[in-house]
Amino acid sequence: MGKRGNGEGTVYQRKDGRWTASITIGQGRRKYLYFATQKEAIKAIREINNLKDQGIMLASKDQTVAFFLETWLQDTAQPRLRPRTFIRYQHMIQHQIILAIGNVKLQQLSPQLLQRLYNGELHKGYAPQTVKHVHRLLHRALHDALRWGLVVRNVCDAVDAPRVPRHEMQVLNA
């Protein structure tokens, strides 16, 4: 089987012996995946077509953290958040997350990068509770990205949430 028709995708062998699975993922863009065998390539085409049939969009490798968080906030989070919470999320995304890691590709986001963000830039400029809120926001957004198939795992799961030190309550005497 050299090629497949009907817009399902194409499977062909390259000169170097590898098999290529090529599929249209929207608006004329094609995704190319490479495999050692023809059987693996055909299986990949079927899986991608199943995802497309379920309405799951495949993430572009060029999608940045900034683009994802801004669209997630407007399209997904805003309808289910209270107005003040939405404003707080918007502020955290714009001033803490995007400034630090906004230009990183969503697919390349790593636990080491998040740990560096929490311990470095945010730790020095913000209260520990704020850093923990940033972690929770990222975890929630990446959980949705995982459900939608935009990322293969939620990297926040691999990073310990920042600790907030407990202070003993000071009680006023008479």
State the Cα–Cα distance between residues 66 and 71, nearest whole angstrom.
9
Q: DSSP string covering the chain, please?
A: -----TTS-EEEE-TTS-EEEEEEEETTEEEEEEESSHHHHHHHHHHHHHHHHTTPPPPPTT-BHHHHHHHHIIIIIHHHS-HHHHHHHHHHIIIIIHHHHTTSBGGG--HHHHHHIIIIIIHHHS-HHHHHHHHHHHHHHHHHHHHTTSSSS-GGGGSPPPP----PPPPP--
Average pLDDT estimate for 73-85 = 91
Judged against a pLDDT cut of 50, whether residue 93 lies above it is answered with yes
Domain boundaries of the chain, sorted by first residue: 10-53, 65-158
Lowest-confidence pick of 12-26, 84-98, 103-117: 12-26
Of 2 and 157, more confident: 157
Average pLDDT estimate for 32-50 = 86
Judged against a pLDDT cut of 80, whether residue 49 lies above it is answered with no
Report residue 138 as tokens.
Answer: 């990222």
| Backbone dihedral angles phi then psi of residue 22, each to the nearest 5 degrees | -120, 130
What is the C-alpha radius of gyration for the chain, rounded to an integer number of angstroms?
A: 21
Lowest-confidence pick of 24-38, 62-76, 135-149: 24-38
Q: What is the pTM of this model?
A: 0.63
Residue 5 has what pLDDT?
A: 44
Burial category of 131 from C-beta neighbours within 10 Å (exposed 0-12, middle 13-18, buried 19 and up) = buried
pLDDT band at 3 (very low <50, low <70, confident <90, very high): very low
pLDDT band at 58 (very low <50, low <70, confident <90, very high): low
pLDDT band at 1 (very low <50, low <70, confident <90, very high): very low
| Average per-residue pLDDT for the chain | 84
Task: Assign domain 65-158 to its CATH architecture.
Answer: Orthogonal Bundle (1.10)
Q: Are 122 and 134 in contact (CB under 8 A)?
A: yes
Indicate the residue type of 91: H
How many residues can be counted in the chain? 174
